[in-house]
Each structure stands twice: as structure tokens, then as C-alpha cells.
Amino acid sequence: MRIVVRDLVVRRGGTLAVDGVSFAAEPGGWAGIVGANGSGKTSLLRAVAGRLGTRSGHILVDGADRTDDRGWRARHLGFAPELAALPTSLTGAELFAIVAPDWRESVRSGGLPALREALAFDTFLDQRIGALSAGMRQRLALFCAFLRAPAAAILDEPFNWLDPVCAFDTRAALRRLVDDGLTLCTALHETATLVGYCDSGLLLSEGRVGRRLDAAGLARGREDHGAFEADMIAVLRGLGGKPDR
Amino acid sequence: MAAPLLRYDLLLARRSFADSFSTARDRLLLAMVAVLAVLWMRDAATRAAPSLPPGAAMMALLAGPAAYGWNAAALRRLDWFRESSVLAPQALLPRAGSSYIAFAQLPLLSILAAGVLFLGAFTGAPSRASAIAILSYGAGLALAAGAGKRAERPAATADAARRKGGTNCPGPFQALLAVQTFGGDRPVRSASLLIAGAALSTLAGCLVAAHQPAAARFAAALAPSVLLLVATARNAPDIVGLLAFAGYRAASVARFVCAIPAANLAAASIALLLVRPEGWPAMLESLLLLHLLAALVATARAWLSPGRPARRVDVQVQLEILALLIVGTLFAPLVPPVAAWRLRLIHRHYSRSLWVQG
């Protein structure tokens, strides 16, 4: 599934959260979005996933303009909910059954069993979500995005709260899904995943694109991650009012 | 279309109910309350039948604000389903929203229908009671829908928003007002317009109902400002919690949250004094009492908010009001000192939450 975003503008709570952003996420590609807190990453991803309305611009999926069809995007793009939106009085199994009643069948194929194994939630699937730790909730929220076996998934800071082992395994499982054809867009807060796993990158600053990173740029970042990270930080510090649309 | 959303809400409600009454003591308490309610209904039925005007006036006062509050909450819930819940794909289906809002009317309409039947059976005029209730309910419904649409309409660009009042960085008072007036770009102007509208409605209502029975005059004088009080009685626990940690004193927060009740009281009083309908001193007294109660509730909710979930705050305030009602029933003169004592304790909770002690 190819997702193309053109000149997207999103307002949130009376402020301009995303201001004319354009990017493309290719089938079998992992697009990583980094930026400071409040730079518009979450609003951009939520708008693409149909969870927020857009003010202007276009969202094309496989060439078809789906800008005005939030419902279509919400149904066809997997999206992990925020932890605060999970129902604390239900169990993980009940939550999954609400999202996709036949989820046990739909996640049996492709790379999803590997992701399920990486997230390792089976031991606490029948416990109430309110009794789980933030990391355990994050595992459930992440898998919610894949319960309908979508061709594209949108994850906002997916590795927050996860322990090092789970984060490592989950990155590898997601990469395998991408290699099998999944289109993946994630907001990230660290550059190691960006250079190590992503195929393209986007730096957001004050709702605008600060820098674009292609596969070659990310490969250079892998070679000298320290220099790459220092460069990214310098860009994020110095962007201010000179973004590149 | 809205079946998954309703099933989800029902499941959560069932689970919440089961959790609330999970012990034998809780179930016994529930049974006792049910028995008391039945006894109260039987007792009320044996008393002298009320005449229609006071009953209808009460219905007009209650059905509109109840419809408004209920539907505003249903619209907020629908927005949450669409933006944040795991059921966003279902909530964004065509017609899912309208059918969810339509089904959400059922609980309130059932209570309203029971009230109308109860009143109609007493007064022998069920059709008039129904008509008044339906009109009032419709007005509340329309106001909620209008307010919901208004909240969805942001300024076209960031520059326009800045020109319209700089809501990109609102002060605490403006931020609280924006919550109370449904997130408009210029909350002070929105609040002023709402209060002016309610005052004009009071003025017009008093003139129109000048030759009507006392209860109708009373309803016309009080309904607009009561409706406004209920509509703007929204707590903002996140903002208030932040104010506490930023060092804002309890008195400042109380001033912020009481601004609308105070201004509304002033405007409604002026409107009332301009017309001076028959029995205006009693109307003025009722206005004062209602606004004082609203200000106290708003202050208590704000002072209790830091560090507590919104639901817990609302439950505690409801329990405080219930306790005051019981005290008032037993010995009315005790209400002011008990209220002051409770407010003092709540004030202490807020003061303990202050991050910066000046």
C-alpha cells in the first residue's frame, strides 16, 4: 500500500499542528518521523490514520485520493491507540475481540506470529488492563494495530515503555513485516531505530518538514551513528523558522 | 451502524456497575436505597396532587438542561470514539454518529417519559406536561448540537487564530473559559455573548410571561440563566492541576472558575430589575441562591482537581451536595456552617497541592 501525503495542514485545539507537510510511504518501506515534542508528529500520524480531520492538502492511498474519507483510512490503516484510551476495566483478550472478533485467526499468517511472540502478551492477556504496567499496556496497544492484518500500519512512538528485550524483538519483528510488504510509518524519539531499521526519514519542526532522509542518507548514518545523531540534534536545535517544505 | 459503540459502552457500564457493587455490603446498600426510593414514591403519591404550572415549570427547568448536558456528553463521547478509541473505524462509518446520538437519547428519554407520566397522572393533564417537556428537551438538544458544531469550527489559519486573540498561548483564565465555552478561539467574547444572550432571553421571557401564572413567570425569569449555568459548568482538571503545580493560589483559581456564574448573575439581575415582574424579589433571591450554589460547586470541583481523576472529583462533589441536602432536611440552619467547614477542608487539599509556596 503506497501512502502519499501532499501539503497536509492539520489543526488541533485551535493551533496549527501540521503546516503543509508532504511525504510518501512506500509498500515494503518503513518511514520514520522524528522531531521535538509538539513538532506535529502525532497530529500528522493521527490525521493520516483518519483519527483527525484535515484542514487542507491531500492523502492518497495507492493513487486514490482518500483525503475526505477518514472512515476508509481508519478501516484500512492499522493504528495503535494511546495507552490512555485503553479501557482499564476490560482484559486484553476482550479488547482484542472488540477490535477484531476473529483476531486469533487473522494473526496466524505472515510475520504476525513473530510480532505476537516478540510482544509476549499471552501471559497477561486475560488480566484487566487497569492492573497492567505501562509496558504491558504498550504491548497490547501495539498489537491492536495489527489485529485486522492491515497492509499499512501507523505507530506513534511504538517503543516507549517497552523493556530492552521486548523493544529489540519488536523492532526485528516489525522489520520482517516490512520486508514482507507492510507499509509502516512510525514516530520515533531516538535516531538509532531511524538509521538501523527505517528506509526513509522525516524531521519535523513546528509542524513543517525540516529535513528529508533517503535510504542513502540513513545508510551513512548507520556508518557513523554518533556524527549522524549530532547532526540531527544540530538540525533540530537550529531549525527555528527556516524549514524546508 | 452504531451497534459496536453501544455494545462497548454497555460492556463498560456493566463492568463498572459490577465493580461498584462487588461486595455483599454494597449490594445491601443498593437494595436499601431502592426500598427507600419506592417508599418515597408511595409517600409522594399519597400527598396532595400538585397543580400543573409548578410541575410544568419544574419540567421546563430540568428537561432542557438535562438534554443539553446529556447530549453534549454524548457528542464528546462520539468524538472520543472517532479520534482515540480502538473503535474509530466503526465510529467513522457513515451514519454511525447520528445513530449513536439517537440511541444515546433512550436513557434520558425514558426518565423524562416516566417523569411526564408521573406528573400527568397527578395533574390529569398529561398532554400539556408532555408538550412542555418535549419543547424544553428539544431546546436543550438543539443548543447541544449547536455548541458541538461551534466547537468544531477553528480559525482558518494559525495567523488568523493569532489575529483573533492569540489562542496559541492563552492565559489560565482564557484557557479555563475556553473549556467552559466549548473551546472557541475567543473565549472571553464567547462567554460575553452567551451571558448577554441569556440576559436578553430573561428580559424577553419576563415581558412575554408578564400576565401568566406565577410559576410560568418564575420559569421565564430563571430558565435562561440556569440553562447557561448548566451548559458552562465544565471542569478542566488538567488546567487546574497545572495551575496548582505552577503556584496559583486557591483564591485565584476560584476567581477564574466563578467568573461566568458571577457575570451571569449580574446580567440576569439587571434584566430582572429592568422589567420588575410581579414577585421579582423572590426571583432575585432564587437567582442569587442558584448562582451561589453553582459558584460553590465550581470552586469545590476546581480545588479538588489537582492530583485526582475527574470522575473521582465529580463523585466527591456529588456526595458533598447529597450530605448538605441531608443536613438541610434535618436542620436547615446548619447548612451554611457545614458548607463552610467542608469548603475549608477542600481548600486545604488544593493548598497542599501547590508546587511553589510563596
Q: With a CB-CB cutoff of 8 Å, which residues 188-217 of chain A face chain B?
A: none
Q: What is the 3-state secondary structure (H, E, C) of A40-99?
A: CHHHHHHHHCCCCCCCEEEEEECCEECCCCHHHHHHHEEECCCHHHCCCCCEHHHHHHHH
How far off is chain B from A48, nearest CA to CA, in Å? Answer: 12
What is the per-residue pLDDT for B160? Answer: 43
Tell me, what's the ipTM?
0.91
What rounded mean pLDDT belongs to chain B? 79
Q: If you average pLDDT over residues B183-201, what whole number do you get?
A: 80
Answer with the residue of higher pLDDT: B230 or A244.
Answer: B230
The SS3 of residue A227 is: helix
Nearest to B84 among A14, A81, A98 (CB): A81
pLDDT classification of B58: cutoffs 50, 70, 90: low
User: What pLDDT score was predicted for residue B168?
Assistant: 45
Q: pLDDT: is A95 or B173 the higher one?
A: A95
> What are the chain B neighbours of A68 within 8 Å (beta carbons)?
none
Say what the pLDDT of residue B163 is: 43
Contact B88 A52 (CB under 8 A): no
A122-154 confidence digits (pLDDT tens): 999 999 998 999 999 999 999 999 999 999 999
Whether B217 shows a pLDDT value over 90: the answer reads no
Give the residue on B whose Cα is nearest the Cα of A80: B86
Which of B86, B89, B158 minimises the CB distance to A16? B158
What SS3 class is residue B169?
coil
pLDDT in the model for residue B81: 94
Q: How far is CA A39 from CA A19, A59, B169, in A?
A: 10, 20, 16
Q: Which residue would you say has higher pLDDT here, B120 or A174?
A: A174
Distance in Å, alpha carbon of A97 to nearest chain B alpha carbon:
11
The minimum CA-CA distance between B147 and chain A, rounded to whole Å, is 15
Q: Is the pLDDT of residue B49 over 60?
A: no
pLDDT in tens, A58-72: 999 999 999 999 999
**Closest by alpha carbon to A157, among A143, A172, A138, A176?**
A138
Structure letter (DSSP) for residue A39: S
pLDDT of B52 reads 54
- Average the pLDDT over B80-93 and give the result: 93
For residue B272, give the nearest of B260, B286, B288, B283 by alpha carbon. B283
Give the lowest-confidence range in A98-107, A123-132, B144-153, B161-170: B161-170
**Residue ranges for chain A with pLDDT beneath 70:** 239-245
Cα–Cα nearest to A144, from B15, B79, B16, B84 = B84
Q: What percent of chain B has pLDDT over 70?
A: 81
Say how far apart CA A123 and CA A137 lie, in whole Å.
Answer: 13
Chain A to chain B, count of Cβ pairs less than 8 Å apart?
A: 70
Strands (E), chain B: none
Domains of chain A, first to last: 3-85+150-238 (3.40.50.300)
What proportion of chain B, given as a percentage, has pLDDT over 90? Answer: 14
A184 SS3 class: strand
pLDDT above 80 (res B291): yes
Domain boundaries, chain B: 1-152, 172-358
pLDDT value for A79:
97
Residue located via cell numbers 456493566: B14
Residue ranges of A 118-137 with Cβ closer than 8 A to chain B: none
Residue A55 with chain B: CB contacts under 8 Å? 156
